[in-house]
Amino acid sequence: MRRKSCLPILIFFSLHGFYTNLQNRIGVYLWKQVNHKVLSPAHCEALRVIILQTPLNRVKGKTFMNYVSDLQRCPWKYDPAVHNLIKSQFTRCCNASHNMIATQQNIPFGKELKYEMSPRNLTIDKKIFQMLPKTSPFTTKPFDTCAVVGNGGILLNSLCGNEIDQMDYVFRLNLPPMSIADDIGTKSDFVSANPSILILRFQKLQETRRPFIELLKSYGSAMIVLPAFSYARNTDVSFRVLHSVQDFNLPNKVAFFHPQYLRNLSMHWNETGLNVKRLSSGLMLVSAAMELCKKVTLYGFWPFLEDPEGNPVPHHYYDNITPKPGFHSMPEEFFFYTKMHVKGALHLKVGQCSS
Protein backbone atom coordinates (compact mmCIF):
# COMPACT_ATOMS: atom_id res chain seq x y z
CA MET A 1 0.00 0.00 0.00
CA ARG A 2 2.83 2.43 0.77
CA ARG A 3 4.45 1.73 -2.60
CA LYS A 4 1.12 2.42 -4.35
CA SER A 5 0.61 5.73 -2.53
CA CYS A 6 4.05 6.93 -3.66
CA LEU A 7 3.37 6.14 -7.30
CA PRO A 8 1.81 9.54 -8.26
CA ILE A 9 4.81 11.34 -6.72
CA LEU A 10 7.27 9.14 -8.61
CA ILE A 11 5.41 9.73 -11.85
CA PHE A 12 5.41 13.49 -11.27
CA PHE A 13 9.17 13.68 -10.67
CA SER A 14 9.98 11.38 -13.57
CA LEU A 15 7.83 13.52 -15.89
CA HIS A 16 9.41 16.69 -14.52
CA GLY A 17 12.88 15.31 -15.26
CA PHE A 18 11.78 14.20 -18.72
CA TYR A 19 10.37 17.61 -19.49
CA THR A 20 13.44 19.46 -18.21
CA ASN A 21 15.82 17.33 -20.28
CA LEU A 22 13.67 17.64 -23.36
CA GLN A 23 13.42 21.39 -22.88
CA ASN A 24 17.22 21.63 -22.78
CA ARG A 25 17.55 19.62 -26.00
CA ILE A 26 14.93 21.58 -27.91
CA GLY A 27 16.40 24.99 -27.09
CA VAL A 28 14.73 28.29 -27.96
CA TYR A 29 11.61 28.24 -30.11
CA LEU A 30 10.68 30.83 -32.67
CA TRP A 31 7.71 32.49 -30.94
CA LYS A 32 5.58 32.89 -34.04
CA GLN A 33 6.03 29.24 -34.94
CA VAL A 34 4.88 27.90 -31.57
CA ASN A 35 1.52 26.70 -32.90
CA HIS A 36 3.01 25.00 -35.97
CA LYS A 37 5.02 22.19 -34.33
CA VAL A 38 3.05 19.79 -32.17
CA LEU A 39 4.90 18.29 -29.21
CA SER A 40 4.84 14.59 -28.46
CA PRO A 41 2.05 13.16 -26.25
CA ALA A 42 4.57 12.31 -23.52
CA HIS A 43 6.00 15.84 -23.53
CA CYS A 44 2.50 17.36 -23.40
CA GLU A 45 1.43 15.11 -20.54
CA ALA A 46 4.55 16.01 -18.57
CA LEU A 47 3.84 19.67 -19.12
CA ARG A 48 0.22 19.37 -17.98
CA VAL A 49 1.23 17.52 -14.82
CA ILE A 50 3.80 20.19 -13.93
CA ILE A 51 1.30 23.04 -14.40
CA LEU A 52 -1.42 21.33 -12.37
CA GLN A 53 1.00 20.34 -9.58
CA THR A 54 2.62 23.76 -9.23
CA PRO A 55 1.02 25.93 -6.51
CA LEU A 56 0.61 29.67 -7.10
CA ASN A 57 3.32 30.63 -4.59
CA ARG A 58 5.88 28.46 -6.43
CA VAL A 59 5.32 29.96 -9.88
CA LYS A 60 8.41 31.54 -11.46
CA GLY A 61 7.65 34.08 -14.17
CA LYS A 62 10.12 33.11 -16.91
CA THR A 63 9.72 29.37 -16.35
CA PHE A 64 5.94 29.61 -16.33
CA MET A 65 6.06 31.74 -19.48
CA ASN A 66 7.95 28.98 -21.26
CA TYR A 67 5.50 26.37 -20.00
CA VAL A 68 2.58 28.36 -21.44
CA SER A 69 4.46 28.84 -24.70
CA ASP A 70 5.02 25.11 -25.04
CA LEU A 71 1.45 24.37 -23.98
CA GLN A 72 0.26 26.03 -27.20
CA ARG A 73 2.01 23.25 -29.09
CA CYS A 74 -0.06 20.56 -27.39
CA PRO A 75 -3.53 19.51 -28.60
CA TRP A 76 -6.31 21.07 -26.54
CA LYS A 77 -9.49 19.13 -25.83
CA TYR A 78 -12.65 20.56 -24.34
CA ASP A 79 -13.86 18.74 -21.22
CA PRO A 80 -17.55 19.60 -20.69
CA ALA A 81 -17.62 17.87 -17.29
CA VAL A 82 -14.86 20.13 -15.92
CA HIS A 83 -16.42 23.20 -17.49
CA ASN A 84 -19.82 22.38 -16.00
CA LEU A 85 -18.26 21.87 -12.57
CA ILE A 86 -16.63 25.31 -12.71
CA LYS A 87 -19.82 26.80 -14.13
CA SER A 88 -21.84 25.39 -11.22
CA GLN A 89 -19.42 26.97 -8.75
CA PHE A 90 -19.83 30.38 -10.39
CA THR A 91 -23.60 29.95 -10.56
CA ARG A 92 -23.83 29.17 -6.84
CA CYS A 93 -21.75 32.14 -5.81
CA CYS A 94 -22.73 34.75 -8.35
CA ASN A 95 -25.28 33.73 -11.02
CA ALA A 96 -24.27 35.96 -13.92
CA SER A 97 -27.40 35.09 -15.90
CA HIS A 98 -29.63 36.90 -13.41
CA ASN A 99 -27.35 39.04 -11.24
CA MET A 100 -24.43 40.40 -13.30
CA ILE A 101 -26.46 43.27 -14.76
CA ALA A 102 -28.36 45.68 -12.50
CA THR A 103 -32.04 45.40 -13.44
CA GLN A 104 -35.42 46.50 -12.17
CA GLN A 105 -35.91 42.94 -10.92
CA ASN A 106 -32.78 42.72 -8.76
CA ILE A 107 -32.67 46.39 -7.65
CA PRO A 108 -36.13 47.48 -6.52
CA PHE A 109 -37.32 51.07 -6.72
CA GLY A 110 -36.47 52.95 -3.51
CA LYS A 111 -33.72 50.53 -2.49
CA GLU A 112 -30.61 51.78 -0.68
CA LEU A 113 -27.93 50.27 -2.92
CA LYS A 114 -24.51 49.66 -1.35
CA TYR A 115 -21.54 50.53 -3.51
CA GLU A 116 -19.17 47.66 -4.30
CA MET A 117 -15.95 49.26 -3.07
CA SER A 118 -17.03 52.01 -0.67
CA PRO A 119 -19.27 52.22 2.41
CA ARG A 120 -21.62 54.72 0.79
CA ASN A 121 -25.16 53.92 -0.34
CA LEU A 122 -27.16 55.21 -3.29
CA THR A 123 -30.93 55.58 -3.23
CA ILE A 124 -32.53 54.13 -6.36
CA ASP A 125 -34.93 56.93 -7.21
CA LYS A 126 -37.36 56.96 -10.14
CA LYS A 127 -34.80 58.46 -12.56
CA ILE A 128 -32.16 55.80 -11.84
CA PHE A 129 -34.73 52.98 -11.77
CA GLN A 130 -35.87 53.89 -15.28
CA MET A 131 -32.28 53.63 -16.53
CA LEU A 132 -32.18 49.94 -15.63
CA PRO A 133 -33.42 47.20 -17.97
CA LYS A 134 -36.50 45.41 -16.73
CA THR A 135 -34.84 42.00 -16.82
CA SER A 136 -31.40 40.51 -17.43
CA PRO A 137 -30.43 40.06 -21.10
CA PHE A 138 -28.71 36.75 -20.25
CA THR A 139 -31.56 34.57 -18.98
CA THR A 140 -32.01 32.67 -22.27
CA LYS A 141 -30.06 29.53 -23.24
CA PRO A 142 -26.25 29.79 -23.14
CA PHE A 143 -24.19 30.83 -26.15
CA ASP A 144 -22.41 27.96 -27.89
CA THR A 145 -19.00 29.59 -28.49
CA CYS A 146 -17.62 32.75 -26.90
CA ALA A 147 -14.44 34.76 -27.22
CA VAL A 148 -13.14 36.93 -24.40
CA VAL A 149 -10.71 39.30 -26.08
CA GLY A 150 -8.15 40.89 -23.79
CA ASN A 151 -6.10 43.87 -24.89
CA GLY A 152 -2.61 42.41 -24.46
CA GLY A 153 0.18 43.32 -26.84
CA ILE A 154 0.51 39.60 -27.52
CA LEU A 155 -2.36 40.09 -30.02
CA LEU A 156 -0.07 42.01 -32.39
CA ASN A 157 0.60 39.88 -35.49
CA SER A 158 -1.53 37.09 -34.02
CA LEU A 159 -3.86 36.84 -37.05
CA CYS A 160 -6.66 35.83 -34.67
CA GLY A 161 -9.26 38.25 -36.06
CA ASN A 162 -11.09 35.83 -38.34
CA GLU A 163 -11.23 33.17 -35.61
CA ILE A 164 -12.64 35.68 -33.12
CA ASP A 165 -15.30 36.83 -35.58
CA GLN A 166 -16.52 33.23 -36.00
CA MET A 167 -17.57 33.04 -32.35
CA ASP A 168 -21.25 33.31 -31.41
CA TYR A 169 -20.59 35.97 -28.77
CA VAL A 170 -17.58 38.26 -28.30
CA PHE A 171 -16.67 40.01 -25.05
CA ARG A 172 -14.23 42.94 -25.19
CA LEU A 173 -12.62 44.90 -22.37
CA ASN A 174 -12.37 48.57 -21.53
CA LEU A 175 -13.29 50.36 -24.76
CA PRO A 176 -10.43 49.06 -26.93
CA PRO A 177 -9.69 50.73 -30.27
CA MET A 178 -10.80 48.48 -33.12
CA SER A 179 -7.64 49.24 -35.05
CA ILE A 180 -6.22 45.94 -36.32
CA ALA A 181 -8.97 43.71 -37.67
CA ASP A 182 -6.59 40.95 -38.78
CA ASP A 183 -5.46 40.47 -35.19
CA ILE A 184 -8.50 41.37 -33.06
CA GLY A 185 -11.47 40.91 -35.39
CA THR A 186 -14.40 43.26 -35.91
CA LYS A 187 -17.25 41.60 -34.02
CA SER A 188 -18.33 42.89 -30.60
CA ASP A 189 -21.33 41.88 -28.51
CA PHE A 190 -20.33 42.99 -24.97
CA VAL A 191 -17.86 45.80 -24.26
CA SER A 192 -16.92 46.75 -20.71
CA ALA A 193 -16.06 50.38 -20.03
CA ASN A 194 -13.85 51.38 -17.13
CA PRO A 195 -14.89 54.86 -15.93
CA SER A 196 -11.22 55.79 -15.47
CA ILE A 197 -10.89 55.63 -19.27
CA LEU A 198 -13.85 57.97 -19.65
CA ILE A 199 -12.22 60.37 -17.22
CA LEU A 200 -8.73 60.30 -18.75
CA ARG A 201 -9.52 60.02 -22.46
CA PHE A 202 -12.92 61.65 -22.79
CA GLN A 203 -12.95 64.37 -20.10
CA LYS A 204 -15.83 62.68 -18.24
CA LEU A 205 -18.01 63.36 -21.32
CA GLN A 206 -18.48 66.90 -20.06
CA GLU A 207 -16.90 68.52 -23.11
CA THR A 208 -17.13 67.29 -26.71
CA ARG A 209 -18.57 63.79 -26.90
CA ARG A 210 -17.93 63.18 -30.59
CA PRO A 211 -14.67 61.15 -30.16
CA PHE A 212 -16.41 58.89 -27.67
CA ILE A 213 -19.40 58.41 -29.94
CA GLU A 214 -17.17 57.56 -32.90
CA LEU A 215 -15.45 54.91 -30.77
CA LEU A 216 -18.80 53.39 -29.79
CA LYS A 217 -19.79 53.19 -33.45
CA SER A 218 -16.84 50.85 -34.05
CA TYR A 219 -18.53 48.27 -31.77
CA GLY A 220 -21.71 48.11 -33.84
CA SER A 221 -24.70 47.37 -31.62
CA ALA A 222 -22.68 45.84 -28.76
CA MET A 223 -23.92 46.20 -25.20
CA ILE A 224 -21.79 48.69 -23.21
CA VAL A 225 -21.45 47.70 -19.55
CA LEU A 226 -20.00 49.90 -16.80
CA PRO A 227 -19.32 49.52 -13.05
CA ALA A 228 -21.46 52.54 -12.21
CA PHE A 229 -21.96 51.35 -8.63
CA SER A 230 -18.40 50.35 -7.73
CA TYR A 231 -17.34 53.77 -6.44
CA ALA A 232 -19.47 56.89 -6.00
CA ARG A 233 -17.16 58.78 -8.40
CA ASN A 234 -18.09 56.32 -11.17
CA THR A 235 -21.82 56.89 -11.07
CA ASP A 236 -22.35 60.22 -12.85
CA VAL A 237 -19.91 59.55 -15.67
CA SER A 238 -21.47 56.11 -16.23
CA PHE A 239 -24.91 57.69 -16.44
CA ARG A 240 -23.54 60.18 -18.99
CA VAL A 241 -22.60 57.24 -21.22
CA LEU A 242 -26.23 56.14 -21.23
CA HIS A 243 -27.43 59.68 -21.96
CA SER A 244 -24.88 60.12 -24.75
CA VAL A 245 -25.96 56.91 -26.46
CA GLN A 246 -29.55 58.06 -26.27
CA ASP A 247 -28.77 61.61 -27.47
CA PHE A 248 -26.92 60.32 -30.55
CA ASN A 249 -29.50 57.60 -31.28
CA LEU A 250 -26.94 54.80 -31.21
CA PRO A 251 -28.15 51.17 -31.27
CA ASN A 252 -26.16 50.18 -28.18
CA LYS A 253 -27.76 49.16 -24.93
CA VAL A 254 -25.99 50.59 -21.87
CA ALA A 255 -26.07 48.56 -18.66
CA PHE A 256 -24.39 48.59 -15.25
CA PHE A 257 -22.73 45.80 -13.28
CA HIS A 258 -24.62 44.92 -10.11
CA PRO A 259 -22.30 45.73 -7.16
CA GLN A 260 -23.35 42.68 -5.17
CA TYR A 261 -22.50 40.42 -8.12
CA LEU A 262 -18.99 41.89 -8.24
CA ARG A 263 -18.58 41.53 -4.46
CA ASN A 264 -19.67 37.89 -4.63
CA LEU A 265 -17.32 37.23 -7.53
CA SER A 266 -14.42 38.77 -5.64
CA MET A 267 -15.17 36.60 -2.59
CA HIS A 268 -15.31 33.51 -4.77
CA TRP A 269 -11.85 34.15 -6.25
CA ASN A 270 -10.50 35.03 -2.83
CA GLU A 271 -11.64 31.63 -1.55
CA THR A 272 -9.96 30.04 -4.58
CA GLY A 273 -6.64 31.55 -3.54
CA LEU A 274 -6.50 34.78 -5.55
CA ASN A 275 -5.98 37.62 -3.08
CA VAL A 276 -6.13 40.97 -4.89
CA LYS A 277 -7.47 44.42 -4.11
CA ARG A 278 -9.87 44.21 -7.05
CA LEU A 279 -10.43 41.75 -9.89
CA SER A 280 -9.42 42.95 -13.33
CA SER A 281 -12.05 43.55 -16.01
CA GLY A 282 -10.63 40.54 -17.82
CA LEU A 283 -11.22 38.15 -14.94
CA MET A 284 -14.72 39.53 -14.41
CA LEU A 285 -15.67 38.77 -18.01
CA VAL A 286 -13.90 35.41 -18.14
CA SER A 287 -15.85 34.41 -15.03
CA ALA A 288 -19.13 35.55 -16.58
CA ALA A 289 -18.35 33.77 -19.86
CA MET A 290 -17.76 30.50 -18.00
CA GLU A 291 -21.40 30.72 -16.88
CA LEU A 292 -22.97 32.12 -20.03
CA CYS A 293 -21.19 30.07 -22.71
CA LYS A 294 -20.72 26.40 -23.58
CA LYS A 295 -17.19 26.89 -24.91
CA VAL A 296 -14.91 29.80 -23.99
CA THR A 297 -11.73 30.89 -25.78
CA LEU A 298 -9.42 33.61 -24.46
CA TYR A 299 -7.35 35.87 -26.72
CA GLY A 300 -4.99 38.69 -25.84
CA PHE A 301 -4.24 37.58 -22.27
CA TRP A 302 -0.50 37.77 -21.56
CA PRO A 303 0.78 39.42 -18.35
CA PHE A 304 4.51 39.32 -19.13
CA LEU A 305 6.71 42.14 -20.44
CA GLU A 306 8.33 39.91 -23.06
CA ASP A 307 7.61 36.84 -25.13
CA PRO A 308 9.45 33.56 -24.47
CA GLU A 309 12.24 34.67 -26.81
CA GLY A 310 12.86 37.79 -24.73
CA ASN A 311 11.31 40.22 -27.21
CA PRO A 312 9.43 43.12 -25.55
CA VAL A 313 5.63 42.88 -25.58
CA PRO A 314 3.63 46.08 -24.96
CA HIS A 315 1.06 45.96 -22.19
CA HIS A 316 -1.74 46.65 -24.70
CA TYR A 317 -1.83 46.15 -28.45
CA TYR A 318 -2.51 49.89 -28.77
CA ASP A 319 -0.23 51.37 -26.06
CA ASN A 320 2.20 50.42 -23.31
CA ILE A 321 0.46 52.05 -20.34
CA THR A 322 0.60 49.69 -17.38
CA PRO A 323 -2.02 49.49 -14.60
CA LYS A 324 -1.61 51.08 -11.22
CA PRO A 325 0.84 48.92 -9.17
CA GLY A 326 -0.80 46.71 -6.57
CA PHE A 327 -4.35 47.21 -7.85
CA HIS A 328 -4.73 44.14 -10.07
CA SER A 329 -2.68 40.96 -10.20
CA MET A 330 -2.51 39.92 -13.85
CA PRO A 331 0.15 37.16 -13.53
CA GLU A 332 -1.81 35.44 -10.76
CA GLU A 333 -5.03 35.66 -12.77
CA PHE A 334 -3.23 34.26 -15.81
CA PHE A 335 -2.06 31.34 -13.67
CA PHE A 336 -5.70 30.36 -13.09
CA TYR A 337 -6.54 30.72 -16.80
CA THR A 338 -3.68 28.36 -17.60
CA LYS A 339 -4.87 25.75 -15.14
CA MET A 340 -8.40 25.91 -16.55
CA HIS A 341 -6.92 25.49 -20.03
CA VAL A 342 -4.99 22.39 -18.97
CA LYS A 343 -8.16 20.91 -17.46
CA GLY A 344 -10.11 21.54 -20.67
CA ALA A 345 -12.53 24.06 -19.13
CA LEU A 346 -11.52 26.93 -21.45
CA HIS A 347 -9.13 27.44 -24.35
CA LEU A 348 -6.30 29.93 -23.77
CA LYS A 349 -4.93 31.11 -27.12
CA VAL A 350 -1.41 32.61 -27.12
CA GLY A 351 0.66 33.38 -30.19
CA GLN A 352 -0.55 33.10 -33.76
CA CYS A 353 -3.90 31.61 -34.68
CA SER A 354 -2.96 30.95 -38.31
CA SER A 355 -0.30 31.80 -40.82
Distance linking the first and last C-alpha atoms of the chain: 52
Q: Please indicate whether residue 328 is annotated as part of the active site.
A: yes
Tell me how crowded residue 168 is: count the other CB atoms within 10 A of its CB: 15
Pairing outcome for strands 254-256 and 347-348: unpaired
* Distance, CA of 203 to CA of 215 (rounded, Å): 14
CA distance 23 to 353: 23
Sequence-ordered alpha helix ranges (H) in 170-280: 181-184, 195-202, 210-217, 232-247, 259-272
Q: Are 67 and 40 in contact (CB under 8 A)?
A: no
CA atoms within 13 Å, Cβ hemisphere of 31:
18
| Catalytic-role residue among 98, 328, 341, 347 | 328
Residue 240, phi then psi, degrees to nearest 5: -65, -30
Please give the backbone phi and psi of residue 256, each rounded to the nearest 5 degrees, phi first: -125, 140
Percent helix, strand, coil in the chain (nearest 5)? 50, 10, 40
Residues marked active site are found at 328
